[in-house]
């Protein structure tokens, strides 16, 4: 991620000395362990984010391993494994099994990163999905600029 975006994220997550929306930064060992368990490779922007901010609220919840207290305690591993289990017979399972869940929209639809770093939202009600954007960084940048998740697709 570009330094300007990192600074903007930091200013959002830590707007003043009384507010801290970050979790505990992820370690390399946690990341390697998660990649092994989920059989995926985390993309560099997501890794950079969670190594700096942990599971945080950055306009949308971004889950990692030790999340901010306003997020659930579920990890990216838990969320991904649960979604894969719930949708193991779904027609989209080939995408789901090569992706990992990092967030949800306000309707509970999972937001995932696929093997090509696309940010994908899966819609429970319609059994559809959409590519929101082609990178984690562009999603976060758009959110910080005031876009809603529905402005992307």
How far apart are alpha carbons 77 and 99 in whole angstroms?
Answer: 11
Tokens at 41, concatenated = 């490779």
- How many domains are contained in the chain? 1
Strands 56-57 and 61-62: antiparallel
pLDDT at 153: 65
Residue 55 backbone phi and psi in degrees, to 5:
-75, 115
pLDDT profile of the chain (153 residues), mean per 10: 95 93 98 98 97 96 97 96 87 86 94 96 87 96 92 78
Neighbours of 84 (CB within 10 A): 17
Paired tokens of 43: 């993309």
Q: Which domain holds residue 92?
A: 3-151
CATH number at residue 142: 3.40.1580.10
pTM (two decimals): 0.94
């Amino acid at each position: 991620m570009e330094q300007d975006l990192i600074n903007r994220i930091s200013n959002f997550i830590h707007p003043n000395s009384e507010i801290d929306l970050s979790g505990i930064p992820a370690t390399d060992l946690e990341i390697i362990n998660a990649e092994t368990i989920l059989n995926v490779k985390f993309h560099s922007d997501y890794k950079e984010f969670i190594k700096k901010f942990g599971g945080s609220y950055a306009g949308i919840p971004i889950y990692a391993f030790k999340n901010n207290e306003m997020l659930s305690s579920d990890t990216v591993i838990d969320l991904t494994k649960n979604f894969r289990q719930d949708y193991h017979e779904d027609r989209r399972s080939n995408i789901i099994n090569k992706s990992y869940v990092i967030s949800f929209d306000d309707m509970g639809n999972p937001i995932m990163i696929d093997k090509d770093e696309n940010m994908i939202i899966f819609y429970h009600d319609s059994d559809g999905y959409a590519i929101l954007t082609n990178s984690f960084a562009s999603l976060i940048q758009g959110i910080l600029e005031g876009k809603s998740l529905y402005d992307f697709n």
